[in-house]
Amino acid sequence: MFVSMFRFLIFFSFLSLVSSQNCSFDLQSFTLRNFTLLGDSYLRNGVVGLTRDLQVPSSSSGSLIYNNPISFFDPETKKTASFSTRFAFSVTNINPSSFGDGLAFFLSPDNQTLGSPGGFLGLVNSSQLTKNKFVAVEFDTKQDLHFNDPDDNHVGLDIDSLISIKTANLRLAGVDLKSRNLIRCWIDYKSEEKKLMVFLSYSSFKPKKPILIVDIDLSDYIKEFMYVGFAASTEGSTELHSIENWSFRTYGFGPVRPPHNVSDNTVIVKPPIIQDSGGHKHHNKSFGLGFGIGGPAFFCAVLVAFGWISVKKWRGLNTEKNLKAELVTGPRQFSYKELRSATRGFHSSRIIGNGAFGTVYKAFFMESSSIAAVKRSKHSHESKTEFGAELSIIACLRHKNLVQLQGWCIEKGELLLVYDYMPNGSLDKVLYQEFEHGNPLKWPYRYNIAVGLASVLTYLHQECEQQVIHRDIKASNIMLDASYNARLGDFGLARLMDHDKSPVSTLTAGTMGYLAPEYLQYGKATEKTDVFSYGVVILEVACGRRPIEGEGTGHEMVNLVDWVWRLYSEGRIIDAADKRLNEDFKEEEMKKLLLVGLSCANPDSTERPCMRRVFQILNNEAEPIFVPKVKPTLTFSTSIPFNIDDIFSDSEGSEAPEHELEIRID
């Protein structure tokens, strides 16, 4: 049994250390089994058309994407794959004077790459020029000066932008993209040489010299997994773009290597049989004596080990059974092996976030070609409690502005939750980190985030069967999906409460800067403490400032709520708007958002609106709430327990000695 277990461990270690694998496919015709068609693309007789086949001019865009993501980077060896692709395409037109705009071969981390018609080549959204990330080779049939096109018949390398890094005039190679002929293309990228080459020809023989050579290291732009495909677009044209065949391969990853901790010494070798005619009786006697003494001891050790394993397994099954009982519908149970494989053994390169109760990993499931986020809770009694709380709460909730729970796992002492993957990360990352790269979040998205967050909090506070108090609403717990819609996550601090019962006092938890004054004083979470945190978040969204931030040469700490309220009292509230927006916002919406933020962050909890009212105000369905010009001074004058331990007890109505305590919050 032990030998079998040992062999299994070696085998498991072997699997966990397998490096990224090379990929290849060769298709002489297309079927829908392996590809996704987006936009106006279509399949006809094994050939893919990327733009509309109409007799009249139209504007169109379409994409063809290979279903399975391809491994381009090995995080263990830090090596980027080389790749080579060959395909045949044609550009035809019933009206030679109606030309434009072209097509492109691309690599993208997103399997939903579809851009706008016209000069955007189906790669870029006209309203979000920097949203889609890609490495593309464009074949442009129309000169667009907006993108610095040199002419109407060129090939170019594009990275995250349609302004090419380098272009080449195809007439030098004797190729006309609009000739209606079948054109064959070869694209080679050699990772070690850091060189990309493009070859074009009307014949099936690859030319000796490339038409385009670009010295570039793509490892800065290629992620661990990428999707490959084609995109094309037209604008007021009858131009057609077709792909007839396609082959693709990656290379450069090493072969499967053996585990580094497995040596020849681990191989079990049968000992040689020693012939001993004179001393075998003495040997047998010694062996018998040793066995008589060691046998019972060994048996006892095995028995103890078996008992320990059985108790541990029973406890695990009991915990799992209790968790299963709380999940009526919805999330599925994942196996530990499945999640370990999807996260490459919880490799550090897959970490996308860290929270108070665990680490979040990006998980890729090869079988379904899907991506998810796996939260791995810490190994402690407290984290098990939080795990159970988060699981039981989210499993019952359904709202478009919640991070959806896909499943869970409790095996091998691990507590794991599987969520939808949010490609744009957290709100704080987008608000602050992307600003540093000169790419501020645009105003329509900001306002939509405030509305979405108000909607989901209305649902949690007033529309669920049991009220949910989140208790940790902050920018880092608000995730953004592919369209920058707000998704509230991290329910590790949430507590369920019946609507007809008063909140239960609990130990203060949350993040400074977002905590309501009464929560700091009494440790009592209510829906109004969530409202306060919401107010701070939307002031962040409007102002682009953190809740508590250093200011001036002395880096004096400034409270965001105080700062906005001071500007409001001076009649300059619009000056609180994020300067990096360059006034590119609707002033009426900005003022409304700032005033709603102040009303929600009112120190007096009785003056704060409910989230349903906030949602109605932002949707122009209710009048704004009056906000006093001067920030209210809050006075706590309440009979509270003298014993600090009683303040945070779970029981209401303590009979401990009471003293009057007055606290002013200005």
In 3D, which of 139, 132, 173 has the Cα closest to residue 157?
A: 139
CB 343 within 8 A of CB 362: yes
User: How far is the C-alpha of 516 from the C-alpha of 472, rounded, in Å?
Assistant: 11
CA torsion 206-209-211-216 (nearest 10°) is 110
Architecture of the domain defined by 19-251 = Sandwich (2.60)
Catalytic residue among 101, 110, 140, 472: 472
CB 51 within 8 A of CB 64: no
According to the model, what pLDDT value does residue 643 have?
A: 38
User: How far is the C-alpha of 405 from the C-alpha of 372, rounded, in Å?
Assistant: 10
According to the model, what pLDDT value does residue 196 have?
A: 97
CA 304 to chain centre: 45
472 is catalytic: yes
Quote the crossing angle between the two packed helices 587-600 and 560-569, to the nearest 10°. 120
DSSP state of 32: T
Mention every residue, 6+ apart, whose C-beta is less than 8 A from residue 125: 115, 116, 131, 132
**Other beta carbons within 10 Å of 105:** 23
Architecture of the domain defined by 427-624 = Orthogonal Bundle (1.10)
In 3D, which of 507, 456, 525 has the Cα closest to residue 486?
A: 456
User: How far is the C-alpha of 654 from the C-alpha of 89, rounded, in Å?
Assistant: 80
* Cα-based distances in Å from 219 to 16, 19, 79, 362, 436: 24, 17, 8, 19, 22
Type of residue at 646: D
CB 84 within 8 A of CB 251: yes
Query: In which residue are the tokens 């919050």 written?
Result: 665
Query: In which residue are the tokens 């490459």 written?
Result: 344
DSSP state of 128: B
User: How far is the C-alpha of 611 from the C-alpha of 433, rounded, in Å?
Assistant: 29
- Tokens, residue 404: 């959806």
* Cα-based distances in Å from 578 to 26, 432, 434, 586: 51, 11, 14, 13
Instruction: Give the annotated binding-site residues.
Output: 375
Quote the crossing angle between the two packed helices 443-458 and 527-543, to the nearest 10°. 180
- Tokens, residue 442: 């645009």
CA 238 to chain centre: 39
Whether the model pTM is above 0.85: no
In 3D, which of 163, 114, 159 has the Cα closest to residue 133?
A: 159
CB 492 within 8 A of CB 380: no
According to the model, what pLDDT value does residue 434 have?
A: 56
Instruction: Give the annotated binding-site residues for ATP.
Output: 375
Residue 27 pairs with which residues in a beta bridge? Answer: 246
Mean pLDDT per block of 10 residues along the chain (666 residues) reads 42 41 83 82 89 83 90 84 95 80 93 83 80 92 87 93 93 87 95 94 92 93 91 89 94 54 33 41 47 55 61 51 46 89 89 78 84 78 57 74 87 84 88 67 93 93 83 90 87 55 44 82 85 96 90 75 95 94 93 96 92 93 90 61 36 36 42
According to the model, what pLDDT value does residue 562 have?
A: 93
User: How far is the C-alpha of 87 from the C-alpha of 91, rounded, in Å?
Assistant: 13
**Domain definitions of the chain by residue range:** 19-251, 332-420, 427-624
CATH number of 332-420: 3.30.200.20
